[in-house]
A and B are shown apart, each in its own frame.
Chain A
Amino acid sequence: MSNLPCELLDHIVDLLQESQAPLKNCCLVSKSWVARTRRQLFAEVDFETAESLESWKKTFPDPSTSPSRYVKTLVIRRPQVVTAVDAEAGCWVGGFPRLVRLVVFGRGPQRFARGWGDTFTLFRGISPVIKSLRVDFVLFPFSQLFDLILSFPLLEDLSVTNCLHFPVESDKGSDGLSTPAQPSSFPVFSGSLELDMKAGMEHIGRRLLSLSGGMRFRKFILRWTREEDIPLTAALVERCSRTLKSLDITHNSSGGTSVTSAFAPK
């Protein structure tokens, strides 16, 4: 076995990526197998509960030797717990330098909502190679969310679902819809955009449209409920019409007239 080329051994382990038990056994073959096996074993980490996060922290107390560098997809379901852990352990979140996909769910009592802005700040620029961001929040401070989005220059896929705007201090004095200052760089935005905003998509939609850099999304999954979102939906589709390959539009409103006019050819 030791005479086999490394590429071949890597390929054998790669084929086991969906099978946790064999991967764990591979980890015990020899020291030389640990790294290639961990790359698969820890490719996706889902902190479903506060306990799972605590368990990770206890098992891998030293970030420099922890398998966090192998993590490509990180799922956070208790952002307030992550914020607390990071404050306690000191820049714990920074230990995931090769993250490609970040998923953050922010469900829970409204009393946590004010702290979610800290969560967005915490994850800002967490990894320079992030290509996919999914945010599913009941309440969110939209300005911080957008700062988070813009902190990933290679971002291709963006999904923002189930969100309600939750104003924070920095949002006071404006309706949140005025044109923000242009950032120095823009994400790539060349993959998919999913927006599902039951309470309206104007906060995120207008911010996206305000970017002077080009959006080149190839896939849209847009669900709107409010009539006010129809022109925004139309504008987003028009902005990316040159690159769009896949379109999935859901209309949940009971109104019909303005929907019709939004899609009317010029």
Chain B
Amino acid sequence: MFDLSKATKLEDAVFRPGCMSVDWITLALRAITPEHRDLRRISVDLPYYLAYTHVDGDLSQALGEGVLEQWLVLDRTLAHLWESLSIHTNVLWPKGKWDGIMGDYAECLLPEMAKRGMVTINLIR
């Protein structure tokens, strides 16, 4: 098995969790150290299926048990990377009529990052 600790020339990383779990992203990011001097940006795709999910405010119902907690752990990991290594986070999702809904989801899934203005939301085509 491997980790990203040896990839010290990494400049940007994009993670697209098309499924529920985001634990693998958190574990990969935990290998990032001050030796990753060139890493300036991490991008995370919001799963597009969220756009079609009506949850009436209950996000854990849409994501499944435990998955919301995984996102919150990822949120803290990303916040730590920003504070300690100034690595910025982009949140991506496909451009469409659901922009508003996805923006709300982004704030729920990455609350720490959103609250402190440490995340940039990018629409992708």
Q: Which residues of A are at the interface with B, using a C-beta cutoff of 8 A? A: 223, 231, 234-235, 237-238, 241-256, 259-266
Contact = CB atoms under 8 A, between A and B. Distances in A.
User: Lowest 6 CB-CB distances: which A-B pairs, in order?
Assistant: A256-B21, A238-B2, A265-B3, A250-B16, A241-B6, A252-B18
B73 to A, nearest CB: 12
A231 B1 CA distance: 7
13 contacts: A223-B16, A231-B1, A234-B1, A235-B2, A241-B6, A242-B6, A246-B10, A247-B13, A249-B16, A251-B18, A253-B18, A254-B20, A255-B21
Interface stretch (B26-34, B54-62, B93-101, B103-111): B26-34
Nearest to A237: B2
A42 B83 CA distance: 51
B35 interface: no
A147 B9 CA distance: 31
Query: Which range contains the number of B residues in contact with the other chain?
Result: 20 to 34
A265 B10 contact: no
Contacts of A241: 2, 4, 6-7
A129 B29 CA distance: 38
B3 to A, nearest CB: 4
Contacts of A234: 1-2
B14 A248 contact: yes
Nearest to A250: B16
A223 to B, nearest CB: 8
Nearest to A260: B23
B34 to A, nearest CB: 16
Contacts of B23: 256, 259-260
Contact of B24 (A237, A246, A247, A251): A251
Given A234-B1, A234-B2, A245-B9, A259 B21 contact: yes
A241 B11 CA distance: 12
Given A246-B10, A248-B16, A251-B16, A265 B24 contact: no
A256 B24 CA distance: 8
Given A245-B9, A263-B28, 7 more contacts: A234-B2, A237-B7, A241-B2, A245-B11, A248-B14, A263-B25, A265-B5
A255 B17 CA distance: 11
A249 to B, nearest CB: 6
Contact of A246 (B3, B12, B27, B31): B12
Contacts of B18: 250-253
A187 to B, nearest CB: 21
Contacts of A244: 7, 9-10
B10 A247 contact: yes
Contacts of A242: 6-7, 9
Nearest to A258: B24
B15 interface: yes
Nearest to B27: A263
A142 B38 CA distance: 37
